[in-house]
């Protein structure tokens, strides 16, 4: 039997409705039906009255390259290496159960696996907010790798391993108690071979989780635990102090800020922890940093934006408002390429609105969404937006 080229390993717990959408986004791609791809579902003993188990078995029976496994008990983050160990592929990629894969994503990942199968550097699928596939990937050391990935290194959806790195994986469960096994394993992999590649194509979108738990010790996991894992790499010389300082700053401005606003403003759609001043805990961490006062001004400015703006997804300076089966995009005041101010798009049309900058070089096409999963991506070569529906 031929060994699959790519294994997409999905550790899941109690999210059957999101898992179904995730699987459907993979099954809808023609590359899924080739012998190069397999999907591993590792159910971490979901307490949902058998909903996840029923779903997993349904897909496993219907498709011969989907495999469903259910743990005998909840093993928390140890389910990550467990899912990878159950795979048979040459390249094994972890995946969240709540993401939606874009059309062509499987073909892209298989293409990267074929490209690097001989050298086998550590691949990292960054999935940036705006697609940057025009950037040429190159092999870099751990310090440059972390400068490019920053705190995104904590996301399991970007993590991938070659089959040669999966030996005795079930015994390799360090830092699972820190909730960042993937970062710990990444460090161990670079200690053995200091060569990695960051891939900049946006391959997936996130589903918005209903009543998502907010501040489940975010500061503890993503700062304290994260820095605990990285500090030994400074002593070993793999990581520079300036790189760690950059990651700390990125965490504050690009990660913690949004969660602090959601917590302080009590945005609907999230479940909040009680009697824990999440904002103050983060500020206490950064109070001695040289950019602390600037951050307070920056945070105060964001705080006075409309509450709804803090959770709306942003693409290229455009805020998105969802109502029923339509989507309304709020046009920015200027073109994000040449900074020319936009003319008014005028009256709405049935299918699209046109707004162009005064120079006429850059135009944006605004298309109303036809499904719940439509996304808008900036095409850097032409300054246009395209609609991608999963």
DSSP H helical ranges for 193-288 = 218-219, 226-236, 241-250, 257-265, 278-286
Calculate the CA 337 to chain-centre distance.
25
Q: Would you state the pLDDT for residue 266?
A: 75
Q: What distance in Å separates the CA atoms of residue 42 and residue 25, rounded to the nearest whole number?
A: 18
Judge residue 233's burial from the number of C-beta atoms within 10 Å of its C-beta, 0-12 exposed, 13-18 middle, 19 or more buried. Answer: buried
Q: Would you state the pLDDT for residue 65?
A: 97
Instruction: Give percent of the chain above pLDDT 90.
Output: 65
Across the range 138-146, mean pLDDT stands at 97
Q: What distance in Å separates the CA atoms of residue 327 and residue 110, rounded to the nearest whole number?
A: 33
Kindly tell me if the per-residue pLDDT of 63 is higher than 60.
yes
The pLDDT mean for the chain works out to 81
The 8-class DSSP code of residue 256 comes to: I
Question: pLDDT per residue over 280-331, tens digit each?
Answer: 999 999 999 999 999 999 999 888 765 444 444 333 333 333 333 333 333 3
Across the range 64-68, mean pLDDT stands at 97
Phi, psi of 356 (to 5 degrees): -125, 160
Question: pLDDT per residue over 192-212, tens digit each?
Answer: 999 999 999 999 999 887 766
Put residue 321 in one of left, alpha, beta given phi > 0 → left and psi -120 to 50 → alpha.
beta
Q: What distance in Å separates the CA atoms of residue 127 and residue 386, rounded to the nearest whole number?
A: 17
Q: What distance in Å separates the CA atoms of residue 85 and residue 113, rounded to the nearest whole number?
A: 18
Give the residue from 183, 194, 193, 169 showing the smallest Cα distance to 229: 183
Angle subtended by helix axes 278-286 and 292-303, to nearest 10: 150
Q: Would you state the pLDDT for residue 267?
A: 73
């Amino acid at each position: 039997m031929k060994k699959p080229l790519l294994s997409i390993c999905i550790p899941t717990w109690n999210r059957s409705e999101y898992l179904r959408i995730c699987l459907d986004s993979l099954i809808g791609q023609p590359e899924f039906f080739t012998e190069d791809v397999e999907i591993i579902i590792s159910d971490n003993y979901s307490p949902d009255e058998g909903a996840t188990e029923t779903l997993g078995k349904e897909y496993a029976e219907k498709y011969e390259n989907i495999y469903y496994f259910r743990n005998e008990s909840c093993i928390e983050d140890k389910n990550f290496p467990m899912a990878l160990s159950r795979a048979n592929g040459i390249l094994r990629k972890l995946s969240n159960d709540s993401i939606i894969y874009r059309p062509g994503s499987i073909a892209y990942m298989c293409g990267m696996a074929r490209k690097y199968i001989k050298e086998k550097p550590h691949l990292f699928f960054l999935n940036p907010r705006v697609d940057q596939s025009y950037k040429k990937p190159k092999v870099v050391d751990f310090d440059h790798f972390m400068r490019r990935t920053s705190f995104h290194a904590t996301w399991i959806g970007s993590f991938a391993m070659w089959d040669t790195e999966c030996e005795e994986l079930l015994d390799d469960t360090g830092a699972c108690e820190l909730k960042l096994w993937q970062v710990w394993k990444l460090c161990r992999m670079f200690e053995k071979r200091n060569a990695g590649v960051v891939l900049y194509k946006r391959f997936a979108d996130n589903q918005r989780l209903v009543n998502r738990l907010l501040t489940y010790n975010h500061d503890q996991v993503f700062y304290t635990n994260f820095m605990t894992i990285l500090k030994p790499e400074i002593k070993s010389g793999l990581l520079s102090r300036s790189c760690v300082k950059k990651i700390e700053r990125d965490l504050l401005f690009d990660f913690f800020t949004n969660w602090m606003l959601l917590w302080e403003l009590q945005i609907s759609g999230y479940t909040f922890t009680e009697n824990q001043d999440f904002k103050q805990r983060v500020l206490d961490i950064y109070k001695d940093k040289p950019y602390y006062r600037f951050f307070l001004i920056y945070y105060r400015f964001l705080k006075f934006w409309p509450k709804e703006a803090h959770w709306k997804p942003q693409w290229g300076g455009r805020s998105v408002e969802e109502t029923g089966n339509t989507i309304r995009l709020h046009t920015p005041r200027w073109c994000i390429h040449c900074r020319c101010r936009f003319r008014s798009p005028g009256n709405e049309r049935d299918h699209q609105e046109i707004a162009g900058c005064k120079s006429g070089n850059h135009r944006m096409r605004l298309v109303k969404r036809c499904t719940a999963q439509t996304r808008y991506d900036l095409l850097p070569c032409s300054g246009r937006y395209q609609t991608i529906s999963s």
